[in-house]
Amino acid sequence: TAVVAPTAGLGAGVSLGPCAVIGAGAQIGDDTVIGAACVLGEDVRLGPGCFLYPRVTIYAGVHVGARAILHSGVVLGSDGFGFVFDGQRYEKFPQLGWLEVGDDVEIGANTTVDRGALGATWIGDGVKIDNLVQVAHNVTIGEHCVIAAQTGISGSVVIEPYVVIGGQVGIGDHVRIERGAVLGAGCGILPHKIIRRGLTVWGTPARPLKEHLAQLATLARLTKKA
């Protein structure tokens, strides 16, 4: 019951589950497994050795490297949240960019990664993303970053390699997270901020960990006096 466009290319050893759909011009690398009800749009590229669990959706033009693991409900290449107010109503800003995903990337269930508005969204080699994460348009995530569940990353954020992001972190637009930084669970990064290399931050708005703990201790003392 799989539907494969005549112009799609399937490598050696590719497996397609029931009701999978492969669009025109798509290219699937050797030994890739595509689960039931997955949909791959036109001109999608999947490298060799990928594994797609059921119900993964990849929009047209997305490129995914080798050995990717995509869990159920993953959506890659959806439109970014871009609208322009004309004085009376919001008009959709065309999302004309694309999405590039590197090698050895794993993306958890029901996570979404938007395509770029005019350029690209980039996910580097070895990135591991948990369930229920939102990655907006024109985000760059460097190699070997780890991102825990329910994190939201706004548009045009740059995350350098080896960053660790805890669960339920909120990152405003145009933020830069430098190499090796750690964002504690639940913290909030305001738009246009820079988190410096190797720094651990916590809280909302995010502060260096020692400063955040000192503020909590002061607050605890104040409540005891009250």
Closest residue by Cα to residue 116 from 168, 163, 77: 77
d(CA 56, CA 13): 20
For the question of residue 71 being annotated catalytic, the response is: no
d(CA 88, CA 10): 48
Contact 52, 66 (CB under 8 A): no
Backbone angles phi, psi at 39, to 5 degrees: -130, 120
Catalytically annotated residue among 71, 137, 174, 212: 137
The helix/strand/coil state of 217 is helix
The structure tokens listed for 77 are 């290449």
The structure tokens listed for 219 are 């607050």
What residues contact 86, with CB distance under 8 A and at least 6 apart? none
Which amino acids are annotated catalytic?
137
